[in-house]
Structure 1
C-alpha cells in the first residue's frame, strides 16, 4: 500500500534526502519517494504504519501530515478561491508587517521636513538591513533555499553565501548616503536577477519557499515576492534618473 503525505520544512535537495532516509528507516516502510517542489512524500508500506509513527521518525524541522483526497464536487470554485486567498494572506502576514513597519519608519524620519528622495533612500536602506538580518539567522541553510529560484545562485554557489552580506552593504550605503549611484546600480542588478527567477517560478506554478526573509520564516513564493522586488527596482530607477 502507498500513501501520500504533505511535508513542510524542506528547503533543498539535502532536506529531501534526509526525509527519505528517516522515513525509510521506519519499520514496514519499503520505499519513500519525496517530491521537493510539491512538498509531498509517497510512502510504500508492507503493512499499515500509523501517521504518528512517521511524524516521530522525522526531526522537529519537518512536519508531516496525511494528504486528504478532496471531492471536487463538494466544493464550489468560489469557496476554493476564498480559502486559498485567506491562507495566502495569513502566510504572508510577516512579510506585509515588516514592509509596513519599514515604510512607516521611513516616513516618520522625515515627516517634519518632507523629502521624498530621502524617504525612498531610507526605505531601501532599512529594507536591505532588515531582510539581510533574517537571512543571517540561518546563514547555513539560506544558500540552498535561495538557489532554488535565483538564476545566478544556481550557477555560482558562492553567490548564495555572500548575498546577505551584499544586502547589508547596500543597506548601509543607502542609510549613510555613501556612493548612492553605485548602490542604486547594484540594487538594480541584484534584484533584477532575483526577479527573473521569481517570475519564472510563478509562471511555472512551482510551490517553493521564498528565501526573502531567510529560512526562519516559512513564506511561500507568491506574487507578493515579485511586487516587493518590483517596488525596490522602481525606486532605484527613479533615484538614478534624478542623479544622472
Structure 2
C-alpha cells in the first residue's frame, strides 16, 4: 500500500537523502520516494505504520504529517471552492457535533424540573468523559500513536497516552457520582490544559493531523472545533472550582 505524506524541514538534496534513508530503515517499509520540490514523501508499506513511528524515525528538524486530501470542485469560482471545503469539514465533524448535542440535551433533561447550573455542568462533564473515553477504548492499541502526535505530555511520556482513556473514565465517574469533585476538577484542568496547548500548536502550525478526541474509530481532522471543545470543558472546570 502506498501513502503520501507532507515533509517539512527539508532544504536540500542531503535532507532528501536523509529522510529517504531514515524512513526506509523502518520495518514494513518497502520503498520511499521523496519529492524535495513538493516536500512530499511517497511511502510504500507492507503493513500500515502510524505517524508517530514515522516521526520518531526522522531527525527533529523534519516534521511528517498526513497530506490533506482536497476534493476537486467542478467550478473556477474560488468562493465555491471555499464553500466545498467548509462543507467537507462540517461533514467530517458531524459525529462530534452530534455527540456534544446528545450530551447537552441529556444533561438538561436530568435537571429541567429542578434546574441547577452546577448540577448540569457536573453531569455534562461526567457524560463527556464517559462517552469520549468509550470511543478511545475501542482501539487502545491505535489511540496512543494518534494522541502522541499533538499532546505534549504524551510525546514525552508514552505510558501517559496508554492510560489516558482510563483517566477520562475515572474523571467521568467522579463527576457523575459526585465524589471528590474538587480533585476531579483540578485533574481536568491539568489534563485538558496540556492537551489544549498541543491542539493550539498544531492549529497554528497548520498540521494536517488526526484528532484523537474520539479515538481512531471516527476519523476527525484537527480543527478549531477541537480547541473549542477543550476550552468549554476548561472554562466549566475553572468556574466550578472558583465557586
Scaled to the shorter chain, the TM-score interval is 0.7 to 0.9
Distance (whole Å) between structure 2 residues aligned to residue 203 and residue 68 of structure 1 = 20
Q: Secondary structure at the match of 2:189?
A: helix
CA–CA distance in structure 2, aligned partners of residues 76 and 147 of structure 1: 39
Which residue number corresponds to residue 221 of structure 1?
222
- Quote the Cα distance in structure 2 between the aligned partners of 1:181 and 1:68: 45
Provide the residue aligned with 2:114 in structure 1: 113
Instruction: Tell me, yes or no, if the aligned pair for 2:137 and 2:215 is still in contact at 8 Å.
Output: yes
- Equivalent positions of 1:167-186 (< 5 A) are 167-186=168-187
The answer as to 2:92 corresponding to 1:91 is: yes
- Contact 1:173–1:179 at 8 Å: present in 2 too? yes
SS of the equivalent of 1:92 reads helix
Question: 1:201 corresponds to which residue?
Answer: 202
Which consecutive residues of structure 2, in runs of 5 or more, have no partner in the other structure?
A: 6-21, 51-68
User: Offset of 1:5 from its aligned partner?
Assistant: 6.4
Could you say if the C-alpha distance between residues 104 and 213 of structure 1 is closer, same or farther in structure 2, counting changes exceeding 3 Å? same
Partner of 2:105: 104
Call closer, same or farther: CA 1:125–1:32 in 2, change over 3 Å: same
**Cα shift at 1:86:** 0.3
Equivalent residues in 2 for 1:151-162, closer than 5 Å? 151-162=152-163
Shift of 1:69: 10
Contact 1:20 1:33 in 2 (8 A): no
Distance 1:199 1:154 in 2: 15
Matched, 1:42 2:42: yes
Partners of 1:69 and 1:180 in 2: how far apart? 46
CA contact (8 A) 2:4 2:42 kept: no
Is the counterpart of residue 82 in structure 1 residue 83 in structure 2?
yes
Q: Deviations over 1:136-171 (max 9, x none)?
A: 000001111000000000000000001001000000
Counterpart position of 1:47: none
Equivalent residue number for residue 48 of structure 1: none
Calculate the aligned-residue CA RMSD, in Å.
Answer: 3.3
1:6 shift after superposition? 5.4
Report the counterpart of residue 135 of structure 1 in structure 2. Answer: 136
After superposition, what is the alpha-carbon deviation per residue over 1:108-142, rounded to whole angstroms, capped at 9, x for unaligned?
00011111110000000000000000000000011
Aligned residue for 2:19? none
1 CA distance for matches of 2:112 and 2:209? 39
- Counterpart in the other structure of 1:46: none
Distance, in Å, in 2 between the alignment partners of 1:176 and 1:68 is: 45
Deviation at 1:32, TM superposition (A): 3.8
TM-score where L is the length of structure 1: 0.74
> TM-score, with normalisation over the residues of structure 2?
0.75
Q: 1:69 to 1:241 in 2, by over 3 A?
A: closer
Shift in alpha-carbon separation, 1:114–1:148, aligned structure 2, 3 A: same
Partner of 1:192: 193
Shift of 1:79: 1.6
